[in-house]
Amino acid sequence: MVKKIKSRFLLFFLIFALFGFTVFFTSAKLSIAAEPIIIGIAGAHSGDLASYGIPTLRAAKLIIDEKNAKCGINNRKIKLLAEDDVCKPEIAVNTATKLISEGVHVVVGHICSGATKAALGIYKDVKIVVISPSATNPALTKSGNYPNFFRTIAPDDVQAKLEVDFAINILKVKKIAVLHDKGDYGKGLAEYARNFIKESKIAQVVLYEGVTPGAVDYSAVVQKIKRKKAEAVIFGGYHPEASKIITQMRKKRMKTIFISDDGVKDDTFIKVAGESAEGVYATGPKNTSNNPIALKAVSDHKRVYGEDPGAFFLNAYSAVLAILNAIEKSCSTDYNSLTNALKTEFVATPLGILKFDDKGDAIGVGFSMYQVKNGVFVKIKQAL
Amino acid sequence: MNPVLEVSKLSMNFGGLKALENISLDIFQNEIVSLIGPNGAGKTTFFNCITGIYTPVSGDIFISSLPQKTEKENICGLKPNIITKKGMARTFQNIRLFQNMTVLENVMIGRHVRTHAGIIASVLKLKKTRNEEKKIVDDSYNILKKTGIENFANEKASTLPYGAQRKLEIARALATEPFLLLLDEPAAGMNPAETIELGLLIKEIREKENISILLIEHDMKFVMNLCDKIFVLDYGKKIASGTPDAIQNNPVVIKAYLGEDFDFDA
Amino acid sequence: MFKLSEIIKSIAVSAWFMFLTFPILVIKVNTYEKTIDWRWKNMILIGIASFFLSFLWRYMLKQKEYGSDKKKSKASSFFKNTVKNPKFYTSSIVLILCLIIAFPFVFSIYQTNIMTSALMYVVLGLGLNIVVGLAGLLDLGYVAFFAVGAYSYALLNHHFGITFFMALPIGALLGAFFGILLGFPVLRLKGDYLAIVTLGFGEIIRLILENWNDFSFGPSGIANIPKPSFFGINLSIYETTTYMYFIMILLVFLTVFVVNRLEDSRIGRAWIALKEDEVACQAMGIDKTKTKLYAFATGAAWAGLAGVVFAAKTSFINPASFTFLESAIILSLIVLGGMGSIFGVITGAFIFILLPEYLRAFSDYRMLVFGAAMVLMMVFRPQGIIKKRRRFYKISDSGGKKQR
C-alpha cells in the first residue's frame, strides 16, 4: 500500500507542478504594466447572453482607441482588459478577482444584475469604482451597500412604474395580467409592476404568473389570459419568450394590449414576431438618436464593425465616457476623487448631459414608451 | 431435538404458474441434504423462498439454530439480510461474486453481518474499530485457508479459475457464521478432480464447523456419495424423499428422470 | 508505407469535414454590405488538416489497442523504482505541502480564488464519489444538496445572523437530511430509473428556490452573504481570499481523510459490494436500505458543506447557480478523473475547473478545446485518468497483518 500511495502522490504532485508552472507563466507577464490607466470590461462575452455584453466591449474599444490616438488621458495611455463572466455570479467572482489582481483602476460592468451583485463586494473592498451600463436591479444603488457602484441605466422600478402608469393613465385599462420569465430581471420587474398596480387602486392584477423560459408552447398561459379577460399584459423578461407569447396570442385573435420592457425593445423581437409585433408597447431607454454624440457613436460602430450596435451600446458608451471624464477631471484614479467627480462633474454623453446622484444612479437617464408601428419601434409622444 | 430447518407446506406462485406446491421438508443438525429434480422443477425457487428473495404465497419456514432450544422461529417473509443474520447463508447457481473486489474482500463482506462498526466509528478509527477490522481480516483469511484458496487472497475475484470461484462463494457464505449452508449447484462446471475435492470440503465443513448443509446438484454420483438424505422435486411438487439408496430405486423418481436420458450411476 | 485503403479513408474523412464545416467556415454573410464572402481558403485548410489528423487518429487508436501493454509496463516499472525511494517520497510530500502553503502568497488573488473554486469542486467530487463511485447509485441531482448547503448559510445568516463556522456543520447536517429524504423514495430504483428520479429531485429543489419567494427570495437571490470572520478582525479582500483558500484546504484534507477511512471500512466495503451485486450483497446479510441511505447521507453532507463555502465565497447566490449543468460537471469530473479513486477525483476536479479558466486566453474557442479534450480522453482512456485499484492486504500465516 505504501507504494501505491506513493505513486499516486507522485502523480498528484506532477499534475500540481504542471499547474503551478502554467499559473506562474500566465501571471509573470502581468507584473510589468503600471503606467497606463487600466479599464476592466466585465460582462458576458460568450454564451447565451453574449449579445448583451459584447456591445459594451465594443463601445469601450471605440472610445479608448480614439483617446489613445490622441495621447490618452492626462498623458496616460488607456489599456482595456476584457473578462468574461457569462452572467453567472460564481464566475463573476473569479472575473472580479482576476481584474483586481491585474491591477485595473476602474471597471465598466458587469452586465447582469446577479453577476454584478456577486462581484461588487470584491471591488468595494479594494475601492474600485464600478459603472454598469445594464445592471438594473434597484437594490444595487438603493440599498446603499455599494458606494462604489454607478450606472447609466435606470433601475427596474422606474421602468415598471412607467409601464403601469402608461397602462392605467393613458390606455385606461382596468384588468392587467402580469407575466414574467422567472429570471432575476424579469421577475423583479414583474413584482414591481404588480405592486404599483396594487398601490394605484384603479386597476387590478387578474393574473400573476411565471412562464418557463425557452419553452416552445405558451398556449396554457395565453388561455389563462383569455379566460381572465385581461385587457393588458405586462411582461417582464426578454424577447425570445415575448415574441412567442405575442404570436400565440394574436393567433387566437386576442387583441389584448401587450406591454413589455427594454429586454423586449430589440429589433430581433420584431423580426421574430413579425406581424404579431404590431402595436406592442415596450419601454426602452429614452431615445437620444438625435444627440450628436449618439450619432457619432453609432456611425463609428458601423464603420468599425460593419453592423448596427447591439443592446445597451449607448449606455455603455455613456458609462465609459463618464468614467473617463471623471478620471480626467480629478486627474487621478483615486477612489474618493473619482466618486466625487462622478457625482459633481457633468459629462456630455449619448444619453444627454449626465451626472450621478448620491446613490449612483444617473440623473436624467430614464425610459420612454415605444410602440411597434410598421415594423419599427416608434417613440410615443404623449409620454408621461 | 428440533430440526434446524423445518419447512411446512410451502407454496409459491408466479402469476398462474404453481412453482412450488405444499413442499415440506426438514433438516437436522449436521446433516447433508440434497434437493434434486429435473430442470425447472423448482429447486432454485425453493432456495429463493427460504432465503427471503421471494416471499412464499403460503407455508411456514421454521428455524432453530440451537438444537436444544425448544422454541422454533418462523422466518417466512423476512428480508434476505435478516435471514442471513439469523444463520442461513447461501451460494448462487450462476456465480455472483463481487467481481471487482479482491478474494479476501469478498470474504470480508461476509463478516459484515457479524461486525458492528458504523460510519463515525470507521472515520475515527477507535481502538475497538481497529481491533474489529484486524479481526475481520484474520477471520476472513482463516476461512480462505479452510477452503484452500488463500493463495488468491489479493487477486481480483473475476480473475479466479472457475473452481476457485465456486469455492470462494462457499467461503463467503461461511464467513457469515451460518448454522445451515445452502449450496445451489456447487459442482456445476467443475471437472471430476475438482468435484471430489469439493465433496471433501463439504464433509469437512460439516465435521469441523458443525454446519448442516442443503444443496441442489445435478451430478448424481456426487449427491449419492455425499448426502444423508435426498428430496426430489418435480413440477413444483415433492415426489420422493429418503436415503440415497431408497431414492435410486424409487420408481417415481426414475420415471421423472426418464425423459432426460438419465443414469444414476453416471 | 501507407495502404491505399487508408488514404482513401482519409480522403473520405476530409471530404466529410469540408462538407460539415462549409456553412460556418466558408460562407460568410456580410449583413452590412449585404454581400456574401466565399472563403475557399478555409475549406482547403480544413481538408488538408483533417486528412492528416485522420491518419494520426488511426495511428493513436492502433497504439492504444496493441502497443499500450508493452509501453505501460516499462514506464510503470521506472515509475515504481523512482517512487520506491523513501527519500523521494518524503521530500515530494514536503514539497507539496510547501506548495500548498505558499500558493496564495506567491500567486495573485485571482489564482488563489480559482484554486479555492477548484478545491470546492474537489470536495463536491469526493462527496458524489461516495454515492456514484463507491455505492454505484447514479445521482444526477447532486447539485440540490449543494444548493441546500448554500441556502442554509445564506438564509440562517440573513434571519438569525448565524456565522460561517456555525453554518458549516448545520449545512452538512441539512445536506445529509435531504440526502436521506431523497434516499427513501428511490431505494427500490436502480440505474436509469434512479438517475431520472434524482434528476427530478435536483430540479424540484431548484424550482422551489426559484418560486417560493417568501422563503428564498426567488430568482433575485440573496446578496451580501458575509465571508468568514477571522476572530472578529475585519479582513481585506486579499486576506479573505487567502483565508478562504486555507479553510478550503483544511476541508479538502478533512474530506480526503474521511473518505479514505470510509473506503477501507466495513461500511465502505458494503457500498462497493452493493455496487457490484445487490442480490448477493443482501444474501451476505448487508441491509440494502440502511447502506444506501448511509451513502446518500454521507455524500450529500459534503455537498452541504461545500454549499456553505460557496455561498460565503460568492457572497451572492440565486437559483441559477444550481442547475442540472452543475450536477453534470461534478459527475463528469469524477468520470474523467477515475471513478472511485480519491486521487482521480482530485485530478479530475483540477483539470475540469482550472483548465477552462486558464484557457480564457483562447476565449471563443476555449469550450471547443475543452470539449475536444474530453472526447479524446474518453476515447483513449475511458476508465479515467487514475484508475481505482483494490486494496492490497499483506497477511502472514501467524495471523492477519495488513500493511499500508
- Domain assignment present for residue C334? The answer is yes
Specify the residue for cell string 416608434: A378
Measured from the Cβ of residue C94, the count of other Cβ atoms closer than 10 Å reads 10
Q: Residues A277-289: pLDDT tens digits?
A: 888 999 887 777 6
Q: What pLDDT does C341 receive?
A: 87
Q: Which residue of C has its CA nearest to B174?
A: C284
Q: What pLDDT does C151 receive?
A: 95
Strand partners, A150: A131
C-beta separation of C299 from C142 below 8 A: yes
Query: Which percentage of chain A shows pLDDT scores above 70?
Result: 90
CA dist C156 and C226 (Å) reads: 12
Domain that holds residue A47: 37-153+290-366
C400 contact residues in B (CB cutoff 8 A)? 134, 137-141
- Domain assignment present for residue A381? The answer is no
C-beta separation of C338 from C387 below 8 A: yes
A137 contact residues in C (CB cutoff 8 A)? 220
- pLDDT (mean) for B106-114: 90
User: Is the domain of A137 the same as that of A163?
Assistant: no
C-beta separation of A370 from A380 below 8 A: yes
Residues 346-375 of C with CB under 8 A from B: none
Q: What is the ipTM of this complex?
A: 0.88
Spatial strand order of the sheet with B88-90 comes to B88-90, B180-184, B212-216, B32-36, B229-234, B237-242
Domain that holds residue B119: 99-162
User: Is the domain of A210 the same as that of A258?
Assistant: yes
Name the domain count of chain C. Answer: 2
Tell me whether A48 touches chain C (CB under 8 Å). Answer: no
Q: What pLDDT does C369 receive?
A: 73
User: Is the domain of B82 the same as that of B208?
Assistant: yes
- Domain assignment present for residue A28? The answer is no
Q: Residues A212-251: pLDDT tens digits?
A: 888 888 988 999 999 988 999 999 988 888 989 999 999 9
Q: What are φ and ψ of residue A49, in 5° steps?
A: -100, 15
User: Is the domain of C36 the same as that of C116?
Assistant: no
Q: What pLDDT does A28 receive?
A: 46
Name the domain count of chain A. Answer: 2
Q: What pLDDT does C253 receive?
A: 93
Tell me whether C257 touches chain A (CB under 8 Å). Answer: no
Tell me whether C291 touches chain B (CB under 8 Å). Answer: no
Q: Is residue A29 scored above 70 in pLDDT?
A: no
Q: Residues A306-347: pLDDT tens digits?
A: 888 887 888 888 899 888 888 888 888 888 888 888 888 888
Evaluate the CA torsion angle A8, A10, A15, A20 in order and state its sign.
Answer: positive
pLDDT band at A30 (very low <50, low <70, confident <90, very high): very low
Q: What are A349's three cell numbers?
A: 454623453
User: Is the domain of A144 the same as that of A43?
Assistant: yes
Q: Kindly report the average pLDDT of chain A as a whole number.
A: 83
CA dist B122 and B127 (Å) reads: 10
Q: Residues A104-160: pLDDT tens digits?
A: 889 998 888 888 988 988 898 888 899 998 888 888 888 888 888 998 888 888 888
User: Is the domain of A132 the same as that of A161?
Assistant: no
Are the Cβ atoms of B101 and C273 closer than 8 angstroms?
yes
Which amino acid is it at B245? D
- Domain assignment present for residue C317? The answer is yes
Compare C82 and B168 and report the one with higher pLDDT: B168
Compare A12 and B195 and report the one with higher pLDDT: B195
User: Is the domain of C32 the same as that of C152?
Assistant: no
Q: What pLDDT does C33 receive?
A: 63
- Domain assignment present for residue C84? The answer is no
pLDDT band at A179 (very low <50, low <70, confident <90, very high): very high
User: Is the domain of B74 the same as that of B19?
Assistant: yes
Question: How far does the CA of residue B161 sit from the closest CA of chain C (Å)?
Answer: 19
Strand partners, B229: B33
Distance of CA A63 to the CA centre of its chain: 19
User: Is the domain of A242 the same as that of A206?
Assistant: yes
* A94-103, B167-176, C282-291, C387-396: least confident range: C387-396
CATH number of the domain bearing residue A353: 3.40.50.2300
User: Is the domain of B19 the same as that of B124?
Assistant: no
- Reported in sequence order, the residue ranges of chain A that DSSP labels E, i.e. its strands, are 37-43, 78-84, 106-108, 129-132, 149-151, 175-180, 204-210, 232-236, 257-260, 281-285, 347-349, 352-356, 362-363, 367-373, 376-379
Q: What pLDDT does B237 receive?
A: 86
- Domain assignment present for residue A362? The answer is yes
Name the domain count of chain B. Answer: 2
- Domain assignment present for residue C385? The answer is no
- Domain assignment present for residue C124? The answer is yes
Q: What pLDDT does C145 receive?
A: 95
* A193-207, B226-240, C61-75: least confident range: C61-75
Q: What pLDDT does C252 receive?
A: 94
- Domain assignment present for residue A149? The answer is yes
* C-alpha radius of gyration, chain A, whole number: 23
- Domain assignment present for residue B146? The answer is yes
- Domain assignment present for residue C386? The answer is no
Low-confidence ranges of chain C (pLDDT < 50): 398-404
Residues 78-107 of B with CB under 8 A from C: 79-81, 84-85, 89-90, 92, 96-102, 104-105
Nearest to A98 among C110, C314, C403 (CB): C110
Q: Partners for A (CB, 8 Å, 3+ pairs)? A: C
Are the Cβ atoms of C400 and B92 closer than 8 angstroms?
no
- Domain assignment present for residue C94? The answer is no
User: Is the domain of B75 the same as that of B103?
Assistant: no
Q: Residues B252-264: pLDDT tens digits?
A: 888 877 665 555 5
Compare B32 and C27 and report the one with higher pLDDT: B32
Tell me whether C239 touches chain A (CB under 8 Å). Answer: no
Q: What are B152's three cell numbers?
A: 488468491
Q: Which of B105, B119, B165 has the highest number of chain C CBs within 10 A, making it the mutation to test binding with C? A: B119
* Helix, strand, or coil (residue C252): helix
Strand partners, A207: A177
Specify the residue for cell string 501467524: C398
Q: Kindly report the average pLDDT of chain B as a whole number.
A: 86
List the one residue out of A61, A129, A52, A57 whose CA is nearest residue A87. Answer: A52
CATH number of the domain bearing residue C243: 1.10.3470
Nearest to C218 among A94, A121, A187 (CB): A187
Compare B1 and B161 and report the one with higher pLDDT: B161
Are the Cβ atoms of C219 and A188 closer than 8 angstroms?
yes
Which amino acid is it at B141? Y
DSSP assignment string, chain B:
---SEEEEEEEEEETTEEEEEEEEEEE-TT-EEEEE-STTSSHHHHHHHHTTSS--SEEEEEE-SSTT----EE-TT--HHHHHHHTEEE--SS----TTSBHHHHHHHHGGGG----HHHHHHT-HHHHHHHHHHHHHHHHHHHHHT-GGGTTSBGGGS-HHHHHHHHHHHHHTT--SEEEEESTTTT--HHHHHHHHHHHHHHHHHH--EEEEE-S-HHHHHHH-SEEEEEETTEEEEEE-HHHHHT-HHHHHHHHTT---TT-
User: Is the domain of B157 the same as that of B208?
Assistant: no
User: Is the domain of B73 the same as that of B106?
Assistant: no
Q: What pLDDT does C401 receive?
A: 43
Evaluate the CA torsion angle A234, A239, A240, A243 in order and state its sign.
Answer: positive
Domain that holds residue C327: 112-380
Evaluate the CA torsion angle C244, C245, C250, C252 in order and state its sign.
Answer: positive
Are the Cβ atoms of C283 and B84 closer than 8 angstroms?
yes
Q: Is residue B67 scored above 60 in pLDDT?
A: no
Evaluate the CA torsion angle B34, B36, B39, B44 in order and state its sign.
Answer: negative
Question: How far does the CA of residue A353 sit from the closest CA of chain C (Å)?
Answer: 31
